[in-house]
Amino acid sequence: MTLSEAYELMDLLLDKSDQPYFTTDEKNKFLDLAITDFVNFHYQKMTADEDSRRAMSPLIDWTAFRLSETEIVSGSFIYNSRFPALSVKYDLGTSTDLKGYFTFGTQYVLPKQHLYMIAMSVRYYNIDDIINPNDGTALAGVDETDVIFTPSVSIKNKSTRDYYEDTYSGDPFNKVDDKSPSWTYLENRILIQPSEHIADITMQTLMLPTIDQAFSSSSATVKLTFAEHHQKQIVELAVSKMTKVDVGLMTPPSQ
């Protein structure tokens, strides 16, 4: 169902219930509200309900950010004259509304349409064996064959308080290291510990589509268009909201 077809269905349902005139801009606002409510409802049920998993599947995307062995030892991606980092390769200029960027080495700035982080994994490299801590360049005699990556490990999400407490705690049961990294949200960013020797990060995220994306017949790299079955549910939800609005707040039809 395209957006134009969604408008037509909305007009039909509104005419049947003898509702006032709505402008396109007003329809868009209600559709936007309906999409948000629809996504929040089904996200909460994803793990237990098949229909919710199907409803959310177009919004789920895998994104990977990686420094290769050659890039790590090349000296081309040194952050703050200390170590190779993702923020030099994936800076603001590489970002989109659907793909964020890194700052301050390995802090991930969330893209505009990011809604939820479903899963995240990380790999580290042997920084102490290959990188000079004074200038971030490779040690003498080191090349890409000397770079060793750890196995990919899932990152545990923690509250900001627990994240900082565990980072500086000596508690062996809450130790943060390459085998048990953690992450937290802070000011629209994702922080990860340990951070300085991250080789790559893979994220499974859920994005909030725009109205045009939710009602589109075109395919894209990140497909954010709902199935027609769910599009109709969103339209019905929007119309339900519209029928509860005070008539006096609506835009009168042009004369």
Please list the residues that pair with 68 across neighbouring strands. Answer: none
Asked if 122 and 151 sit in the same domain, the reply is yes
**pLDDT(252) > 60:** no
Of all residues in the chain, the percent with pLDDT exceeding 90 is 75
- C-alpha distance from residue 134 to each of 80, 89, 121, 146 (Å): 10, 20, 29, 19
Q: Average the pLDDT over 107-118 and give the result.
A: 96
What is residue 217's predicted lDDT score, i.e. its pLDDT? 72
CA distance 65 to 44: 28
**pLDDT(135) > 50:** yes
CA distance 151 to 220: 31
Domain count, the chain: 2
Whether 255 is in a domain gets the answer no
- β-strand pairing of 114-124 with 153-154: antiparallel
The type of residue at 37 is: D
**pLDDT(19) > 80:** no
Whether 253 is in a domain gets the answer no
Whether 17 is in a domain gets the answer yes
Please list the residues that pair with 189 across neighbouring strands. Answer: 109, 186
Asked if 35 and 67 sit in the same domain, the reply is no
Whether 117 is in a domain gets the answer yes
Task: Indicate the pTM of the whole model.
Answer: 0.87
Q: Average the pLDDT over 6-30 and give the result.
A: 86
Q: Is 71 exposed, middle or buried (0-12, 13-18, 19+ CB in 10 A)?
A: middle
Residue written as token pair 């969604």: 6
What is residue 21's predicted lDDT score, i.e. its pLDDT? 78
Asked if 24 and 92 sit in the same domain, the reply is no
- The H-or-E segment that residue 26 falls in is helix 24-45
Give residue 59's Cα distance to chain centre.
10
Asked if 127 and 84 sit in the same domain, the reply is yes
Strands (E), 41-181: 60-66, 78-79, 83-84, 101-103, 107-109, 114-124, 153-154, 156-157
Whether 252 is in a domain gets the answer no
3-class SS of residue 105: coil
pLDDT band at 16 (very low <50, low <70, confident <90, very high): low
Q: Average the pLDDT over 52-67 and give the result.
A: 94
The type of residue at 153 is: V
53-62, 122-131, 244-253: segment of lowest average pLDDT:
244-253
Q: How many CB atoms sit inside 10 A of residue 171's CB? A: 8
Q: Average the pLDDT over 175-198 and give the result.
A: 92
Asked if 154 and 135 sit in the same domain, the reply is yes
* 230-243 pLDDT, tens digit each: 999 999 999 999 98
DSSP 140-173: TT--GGG--BPPPEEPEE--HHHHHHHHH---GG
Task: Give the domain range for residue 233.
Answer: 3-57+213-247
Q: What share of the chain is helix, strand, coil (3-state, %, to 5)?
A: 40, 20, 40
Whether 156 is in a domain gets the answer yes
Q: Average the pLDDT over 65-77 and give the result.
A: 95
**pLDDT(137) > 80:** yes
Asked if 74 and 148 sit in the same domain, the reply is yes
What is residue 67's predicted lDDT score, i.e. its pLDDT? 96
**pLDDT(93) > 80:** yes
What is residue 255's predicted lDDT score, i.e. its pLDDT? 39
What is residue 8's predicted lDDT score, i.e. its pLDDT? 93
**pLDDT(174) > 80:** no
